[in-house]
Amino acid sequence: MTLEAAEPHTDVPQCPVPHAKDTPLPPGHPEIPVAPPSKLQNPSGEHCIFFRQPEDGQNLSSMEVTTESLTPDPVELQDPEHLLVLSSRKSALAVCQATEVQLMLEARYGGNSPAFAPHAAEAADTNEEIAGVHRLLRGFEEDRTKELVPYHFPVRTMATLGDNNQRSPLYVIGGEGRAIWTKELEVALVAGSVDAIVHSLKDVPTTLPDGLELAAILEREDPRDALVVKQGLPYKSINDLPRGSVVGTSSVRRVALLRRAFPHLMFSDVRGNIQTRLAKLDAKDGPYTAIVLAAAGLKRMNLEDRITSYLVGTDMQYAVGQGALGVEVRTPRGPNQERDEKVRTLIRSISNWRSTWRCVAERALMHRMEGGCSIPLGVTTRLEDHDELEGKMHERIETPMELAQSGVLPTRVPIPPMPPAEGCRLTLSAVIVSLDGKQSCQHTETMLCRSAEDAERLGILVAEELEHNQNARGILDEVEHHRRLAEVADEKRRAAQNAGEATLAVPEVDRRGMPRDDGEPKAWEV
């Protein structure tokens, strides 16, 4: 379906989101030439669900809501002062992640919050959690005598460039850490159509558009990579895979790190959401022996049983921000400063300082190296009490089978809400590996941190060591050279498609000679 952006007008509000031609507009949407006007019915198919003017609160309940508020009172949904619209990509995993944030906010500020329980005001003096919610909510009210009103947090979704382009290699169009997963959402956020975006943090560029910021990084899910073996095969770990086995992944980082440790394996691109990738893996005629996925995504989708083993240690350090959720908001300023300050404060209240420090250090390192998913950079971060906290929950070394046999399962451990006054030592380890796996540089640094700013300085220190005293820049220059080769090949493929030519006279194959399903041969497979 062809998408056409709304044409500019000078006398009506403008929608920044592209629209499918001949698809009806949402109720209350300004007219555009390529689409018929709204008939006050919910549209179907690909359509804009974001455009919203401050005075159009009466239309909010008729716009598409992927996940309804837990307390969907229609009257309250029309109150823009107590409505915070969350947004995410359309994938099932993205919706799951956005719902996780929604539930956290509902628990604190929604109708089921302790702040709105019977006799909550009286109980606030003895219940610190309820008291904190009261202080925060009443801090936003001009009239302190007014009754507290619960907030609502509907979730709205849209497709991004990374979702729509399933043929081009990720390292050609951007990948993790680049704007292909975030740009369309950020356009809606800047326009005021939504109030906050829930991201997989590894997808968020280290430089955000002007006027936007990360307000929260949530408690981190397992950041490790997971090996998933084709159903019916007997292999229990990557060490068991026989020579010539094809491992599916779209990550240059994973290919480079695994090629260094397992040069006898082959690697082939695999795109799509988690369910699509698992289906490609398990297909009887599929070329993959195993695929590598983020453990966090599998766990969030209740697919942990598909994890054959975790990839840990120097063989596979994880991606920057992997496993963490970040929430992006507008920086308060201009005529809507008061509302944006309220949104930022609400979102900040669910942030986790441990995840924030770790991810800030990792993102500062990546920012200095000027890279995204298209560079083979792996990291590991640990606070000094890791073994007593994260180590007992998500980031265990044992495989699921070993855990089951031992009868030991990961357990939840209370996380301190505030960092210790004396600070906490944070360790950041990073490795950069050439595409052929034959060159690498790595460095580990530990610093006593008392704030996120200290963690950021740690990331910069590690980056400076890799850049100035090791061969990081040479390796990254080689990666960029190969990326450009792949980009040219991908442009040729798309040009041939647009010209109506046969795109693949001969089926595309990977290094093992097995067919693949997308694009020209990848430069890092040559």
User: Catalytic residue positions?
Assistant: 203
Classified as helix, coil or strand, 199 is strand
Contacts of 142 (CB under 8 A, 6+ apart): none
In angstroms, the CA 361 to CA 320 distance is 9
State the first-to-last Cα distance of the chain, in angstroms, to the nearest integer.
34
Backbone dihedral angles phi then psi of residue 76, each to the nearest 5 degrees: -70, -30
CB 316 within 8 A of CB 249: no
DSSP 382: E
Q: Which residues pair with 441 in a beta bridge?
A: 432
In angstroms, the CA 497 to CA 510 distance is 21
Classified as helix, coil or strand, 46 is coil
Tokens of 388: 């007593």
Edge to edge, what strands does the sheet with 440-449 contain? 377-383, 424-433, 440-449
- Neighbouring CB atoms inside 10 A of 424's CB total 18
In angstroms, the CA 295 to CA 101 distance is 19
What would you measure as the largest C-alpha separation in the chain, in angstroms?
76
In angstroms, the CA 331 to CA 486 distance is 37
Classified as helix, coil or strand, 510 is coil
Question: Backbone dihedral region of 294: left (phi > 0), alpha (psi from -120 to 50 degrees) or beta?
Answer: beta
Q: What type of residue is 376?
A: P
Show the beta-strand stretches assigned E in 322-473. Answer: 325-330, 377-383, 424-433, 440-449
Q: Classify residue 261 by burial, with Cβ atoms within 10 Å: 0-12, 13-18, 19+.
A: middle
Show the beta-strand stretches assigned E in 45-124. Answer: 86-89
Q: How far is CA 95 from CA 10, 38, 199, 301, 395, in A?
A: 36, 27, 10, 10, 24
The 10 Å CB-count burial string (b at 16+, else e) for 63-86 is bbbbbebbbeeeebbbebebbbbb
Q: Classify residue 256 by burial, with Cβ atoms within 10 Å: 0-12, 13-18, 19+.
A: buried
In angstroms, the CA 287 to CA 227 distance is 16
In angstroms, the CA 325 to CA 340 distance is 20
Q: Which residues pair with 309 in a beta bridge?
A: 227
